[in-house]
């Protein structure tokens, strides 16, 4: 029987990773804080795009997560970040990659959204950010001394009350990676995709494996005819060919949610109109969803 789901929905994640027991509470609290920011916007009638950006900005400010503040160093000791945002209504896409010393990469992706290029990298991305008045910062402001080398990404998807979908990602990179390395997060069809005709999805994990397996494209194509949970599980199963750890969240145009991971943990938050905000660290905690 078809589920009767109406109203807005927001789903976010704080990364596919192994979570130290000492950090479980911070992961849950960080997801709930970001959910609260995005849900407040959707409750007030904001667009899915606005809600996704607002939720990711909270995750970027929280050093628990490897995005914005809490990013990691590449092999040159520098922080380079990737982020993207996609509008499911128009298929507009904005992304930045290997960008340095900006406070909120997702907001620069937002500024890129209506521009012709879909992706700017490195100095080109930062000079665009500066020219558009985005918040710049010192590289040291992004590094948190007590942060252990992390391996994860943050992401968010939303369906607003007008039926529009959006997807966003942000990552602080991989510890010790090659300077200039770009992961899956800003690449459409790899780390994210959103299309009002089908659904929205974002991924976290080993960027090279996610890109080589084209996971976001597979999930959105799967949602054209099937459900988000089955589509997501099939995508994660594809990693048996490339190896690698990942987790993904998906949302279809009817508001149905799917999420799966092959990592030890996956910090996920879910908010739905009329419901409470919920945070999970493993899919098994959320057996009632699908
Ligand atoms: N999934 C994030 C990255 O590989 O950069």
The per-residue pLDDT for range 26-39, each reduced to its tens digit, is 999 999 999 999 99
**Residue in 169, 191, 247 to alter for ligand 1 test, most ligand atoms within 8 A of Cβ:** 191
Q: What is the residue with the minimal CA distance to atom 5 of ligand 1?
A: 183
Distance of alpha carbon 258 from alpha carbon 121, whole angstroms: 31
Question: How far, in Å, from the CA of 253 to the mean position of ligand 1?
Answer: 26
Distance of alpha carbon 163 from alpha carbon 102, whole angstroms: 32
Q: Please give the pLDDT value at position 144.
A: 79
List the catalytic residues: 153
Give every strand in the sheet of 192-195, ordered side by side: 192-195, 199-205, 246-252, 257-261
Average pLDDT of the residues in 212-236: 97
CB atoms under 10 Å from CB of 105, counted, come to 34
Q: What is the pLDDT of residues 47-103, one digit of tens each?
A: 999 999 999 999 999 999 999 998 999 999 999 999 999 999 999 999 999 999 999
Atom of ligand 1 nearest to the CA of 210: 1
pLDDT class for 261, splitting at 50, 70, 90?
very high
pTM of the model: 0.96
Question: How far, in Å, from the CA of 127 to the mean position of ligand 1?
Answer: 23
Question: How far, in Å, from the CA of 274 to the mean position of ligand 1?
Answer: 33
Pocket of ligand 1 (CB under 6 A): 153, 171, 173-174, 183-185, 204-205, 207
Q: Please give the pLDDT value at position 146.
A: 59
pLDDT class for 149, splitting at 50, 70, 90?
low
Instruction: Look at domain 9-289 and name its CATH class.
Output: alpha beta
Of 149-153, 171-175, 246-250, 269-273, where does mean pLDDT reach its minimum?
Answer: 149-153
Q: Please give the pLDDT value at position 290.
A: 45
Return the residue matching tokens 């997807």.
167
pLDDT class for 147, splitting at 50, 70, 90?
low
Q: Please give the pLDDT value at position 143.
A: 86
Q: What is the residue with the minimal CA distance to atom 2 of ligand 1?
A: 207
Q: Please give the pLDDT value at position 152.
A: 78
CB-based contact 113:220 (threshold 8 Å): no
Distance of alpha carbon 113 from alpha carbon 259, whole angstroms: 26
Q: Kindly report the average pLDDT of the chain as a whole number.
A: 94
User: Is residue 287 scored above 60 in pLDDT?
Assistant: yes
User: Which is nearest to 35 in space by CA: 287, 268, 286?
Assistant: 268
Question: How far, in Å, from the CA of 182 to the mean position of ligand 1?
Answer: 8
Atom of ligand 1 nearest to the CA of 208: 4
Q: Please give the pLDDT value at position 252.
A: 97
Give every strand in the sheet of 165-171, ordered side by side: 119-121, 93-99, 81-87, 165-171, 154-159, 9-17, 265-272, 278-280
CB-based contact 179:76 (threshold 8 Å): yes
pLDDT class for 273, splitting at 50, 70, 90?
very high
């Amino acid at each position: 029987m078809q589920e009767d789901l109406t109203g807005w929905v927001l789903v976010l994640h704080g990364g596919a990773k192994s979570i130290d027991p000492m950090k479980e509470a911070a992961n849950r609290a960080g997801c709930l804080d970001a959910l609260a920011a995005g849900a407040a916007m959707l409750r007030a009638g904001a667009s899915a795009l606005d809600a996704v950006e607002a939720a990711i900005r909270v995750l970027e400010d929280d050093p628990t997560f490897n995005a914005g503040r809490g990013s990691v160093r590449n092999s040159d000791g520098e922080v380079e970040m990737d982020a993207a945002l996609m509008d499911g209504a128009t298929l507009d896409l904005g992304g930045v990659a290997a960008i340095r010393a900006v406070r909120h990469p997702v907001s620069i992706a937002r500024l890129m959204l209506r521009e012709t290029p879909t992706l700017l990298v490195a100095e080109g991305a930062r000079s665009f950010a500066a020219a558009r008045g985005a918040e710049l910062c010192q590289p040291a402001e992004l590094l948190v001394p007590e942060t252990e080398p992390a391996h994860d990404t943050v992401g968010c998807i939303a369906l607003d009350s007008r039926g529009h979908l959006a997807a966003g990602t942000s990552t602080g990179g991989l510890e010790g990676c090659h300077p200039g390395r770009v992961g899956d997060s800003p690449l459409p069809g790899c780390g994210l995709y959103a299309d009002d005709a089908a659904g929205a999805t974002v991924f976290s994990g080993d960027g090279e494996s996610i890109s080589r397996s084209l996971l976001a494209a597979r999930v959105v194509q799967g949602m054209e005819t099937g459900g988000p949970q089955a589509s997501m599980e099939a995508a994660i199963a594809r990693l048996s060919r490339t190896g690698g750890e990942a987790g993904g969240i998906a949302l279809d145009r009817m508001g149905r949610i799917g999420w799966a991971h092959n990592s030890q943990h996956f910090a996920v938050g879910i908010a739905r109109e009329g419901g409470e905000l919920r945070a999970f660290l493993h899919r098994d905690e959320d057996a009632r969803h699908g």
